[in-house]
Amino acid sequence: MANRLEEKTRRTLALAGVTIDGSAPHDIKVHNKALYRRAWGQGTLGVAESYMDGDWDSEDLSEFFNRVMRAHLDKKLRNLSTLWYYIRARFANLQNKSRAFEVGEEHYDLGNDLFEAMLGKTLAYTCGYWSSPAGEAKSLDEVQEAKFDLICRKIGLKPGQTILDVGCGWGSFLKFAAEKYGATGTGITVSKEQAALVRERFKHLPIDIRVEDYRDTTGTFDHIVSIGMFEHVGPHNYRVYMQKMHSLLKDGGFFLLHTIGNNFSTYTTEAFLGKYIFPNGVIPSAAQIGKSFDDLFVLEDWHNFGPDYDKTVMAWFDNFNRAWPQLKQKYSARFYRMWKFYLMSCAGLFRARQTQLWQIVLSKEGVPGGYTSMR
């Protein structure tokens, strides 16, 4: 059995130009042949947990993932266990209000020290805008601020206006909007750790932070942004989410949705990401997003700069890797391998163009005379 599975793995990886114990940086080195049984028995989750346990390595893990994703090898690992994972998500609302705070507790509350080390001074945990002229040969912090400025320009933010940031993270966009554009900001998050840090760091700014689910948010705002939060909403709730945004947005304002996008519609996420990184997360498709705001909003602009996420994630990993000598006093060696697998698999996924990064600008009634796209 072991030899048969090993040979099957060799043939499958060859479709992506990957060799077991080969000499290319993207090839893999197998330290424990249990990898083969775990991969074919448990799908992508088995591959990930086998890596976390040290069963295999790759010198260039991001390029390994780029190659296997471009060859769609993940589809060859689907079995009954992965089918059950999909069926459960298809018929159960895993993002209902009772589960809303799970991702905050399990991911965003891991430790501000980890995210401060990885994300840089902006603490922006979303894709930077490397595609702008300002993104040429610039730092991670600079391309994150280029993204903030792009968002402010897209919504036409003016001094004195109010803005709601749905899923505000560590408040970096609200800080930028307050300091550079004179806006008054409200942010909502499901992470107590995020909220505490924002309140301490930006107490001198007109920023209000609430720990709450978006379904409980009240008030009206000149503009709304949601930067990297929609991936936690879930297909069963997309329509409810859009109805809520519509009720919170003042007439004449803009809602900017910044989200990772899938090339196909699904109700679940990849098993490793769902178990270890973003519980209950789902990446939406263009079709799902479009259906969710049908007859609620006018689509003014749809901007895709997905390849920029590859550069962003690689920069995060470089920061994380440099900080590991300090971080390892708190986090385990298995955590390091888990986090590396997470970041490198995401970089490879964006490099392979299997996922996208979209900024979508919506208005209630349409801009008289037309909307001017910003790039």
Q: Are 177 and 240 in contact (CB under 8 A)?
A: no
Which pair of structure tokens corresponds to residue 14? 């060859």
Burial of 75 (0-12, 13-18, 19+ CB in 10 A): exposed
| Distance, CA of 278 to chain centre | 9
| CA torsion, ordered 315, 319, 320, 323, to nearest 10 deg | 170
Q: Tell me which amino acid residue 66 is.
A: N
H/E segment holding residue 185: strand 184-189
| Half-sphere exposure for 334 (CA within 13 Å, toward CB) | 7
DSSP 224-243: EEEES-GGGT-GGGHHHHHH
Of the candidates 222, 85, 206, which has an alpha carbon nearest to the alpha carbon of residue 158? 222
Please answer whether residues 219 and 135 qualify as being in contact, where contact means their C-beta atoms are separated by less than 8 angstroms: no
Q: From the candidates 127, 152, 168, 346, which is the catalytic residue? A: 346
Question: For helices 333-351 and 61-70, what crossing angle results, to 10°?
Answer: 40
* 350: amino acid identity, one letter: F
How remote is the C-alpha of 144 from its chain's centroid?
A: 15
For the question of residue 168 being annotated catalytic, the response is no
d(CA 168, CA 177): 12
Cα distances (Å, whole numbers) of residue 53 to 99, 106, 114, 304: 29, 21, 21, 36
Distances 366 to 207, 258, 374 between C-alpha atoms, Å? 29, 19, 16
- The pairing of beta strand 184-189 with beta strand 162-166: parallel
DSSP 59: T
What are the catalytic residues? 346
